[in-house]
Amino acid sequence: MKYYIIAGEASGDLHGSNLIRALRAEDPEADIRCWGGDRMAAAGGHVVKHIRDLAFMGFVEVVKHLPTILGNISFCKKDILAYGPDVVILIDYPGFNFRLFPFIKEHGFTLFYYISPQLWAWKENRVKKVRQYVDRMFVIFPFEKEFYAKHGIEVDFVGHPLLDELKGTEVEGRDKTANSNIIALLPGSRKQEISKLLPEYLKVIPHFPQHRFVIAGISGLGTEFYQNLVGSSPCEIRWDDTYGLLRKSHAAIVTSGTATLETALHNVPEVICYKSGAISYYIARQLVKGIKYICIVNLIADKPVVTELIQHDVNESRLVQEVSALLEPAYRQKMLNEYDEVKSLLGSVGASARAAQLMVSYLKAPSLPGH
């Protein structure tokens, strides 16, 4: 069968790569064309648009790049038509993917959505579009199944694919970081967020002279980009190996996103940071309703497992205070214990395989469930 997969961010590239491998195992004749990154290409997908050209963060930034985004949408529609897939699989990335809904259904393509956008956090009215256009949704958090059921939509909970990614690694041993003096800095995967947050993180370094600070860098963004931000700060950059860095780290400062859960699954105590442009943040605050946390670790646990620093709270004083706390044995142990609770809620390993098995079985069935 022919699969057209669209991912627009680093996390989507990671999860998309695992899904591609699972689809190829389930369907040896799978022909996969995709929007993604190096991971999806390495997994066997033919990448027609790279994520480095797709990730725009914040309302103002999106408006600024609107001609590029609209051009990408036009290209995508033509490419789907030319390819003629058996199914289009969208991975998160709602600002772009939702715009394709009417087109995909108008031309009679089956539409699967893997990894739900955070509609439960904001823009809940978008659920109507999911009900109208999406043939089947595959979700990775247990609370999402209940959320969609509330809106009359049956979805498949497959578990979190990060558990697959970390299977067989050294994340189980908590004592592995006992003698480490490394504090990891995970500033994000987009230039816009890195530019806002990394300079704040670097201000912490002089306060902890006994520790090594190591940045999780993405070589695809350019070494010069990072060097311009780092300047003469006494820190290192570890390229394209966030998991390797986390396995050796004692604590971490992490930009809100998938990396917060990755850090928790590596048993590394962390503080979470989020900062965007003033206008983008104001608009986001108006749209978000009824949500207590921004960090996925806290959302899963439904309690403040890790501290969240937002906007003006991302400053030298607060960061020093929180990193100091992360180095305290009692505080660390409490957080690690609560990480265990989070892990227990995520389901078991095999999410990618379960998703692929369901997708292929639905495509081979005379009709989709609920249709």
Q: pLDDT tens, 257-275?
A: 889 999 999 999 999 999 8
Q: Is the pLDDT of residue 154 over 70?
A: yes
Residue 172: predicted pLDDT: 47
* Number of Cβ atoms within 10 Å of the Cβ of 209: 7
Non-local CB neighbours of 285 within 8 Å, separated by 6+ positions: none
Residue 284: predicted pLDDT: 52
Residue 173: predicted pLDDT: 43
Q: pLDDT tens, 86-135?
A: 999 999 999 899 999 999 999 999 999 999 988 876 667 789 999 999 99
At residue 98, φ and ψ (nearest 5 deg) are -65, -25
Average pLDDT, the chain: 89
Q: Is the pLDDT of residue 334 over 80?
A: yes
Average pLDDT over residues 314-323: 98
Residue 18: predicted pLDDT: 94
Q: Is the pLDDT of residue 290 over 60?
A: no
CATH numbers and ranges of domains, the chain: 2-164+349-364 (3.40.50.2000), 168-345 (3.40.50.2000)
Q: pLDDT tens, 44-80?
A: 999 999 988 775 544 445 555 567 778 899 999 999 9
Rounded alpha-carbon distances, angstroms, from residue 88 to 7, 17, 105, 335: 11, 15, 10, 40
pTM flag (> 0.85): no
pLDDT band at 220 (very low <50, low <70, confident <90, very high): confident
Non-local CB neighbours of 275 within 8 Å, separated by 6+ positions: 193, 196, 197, 200, 281, 310, 311, 314
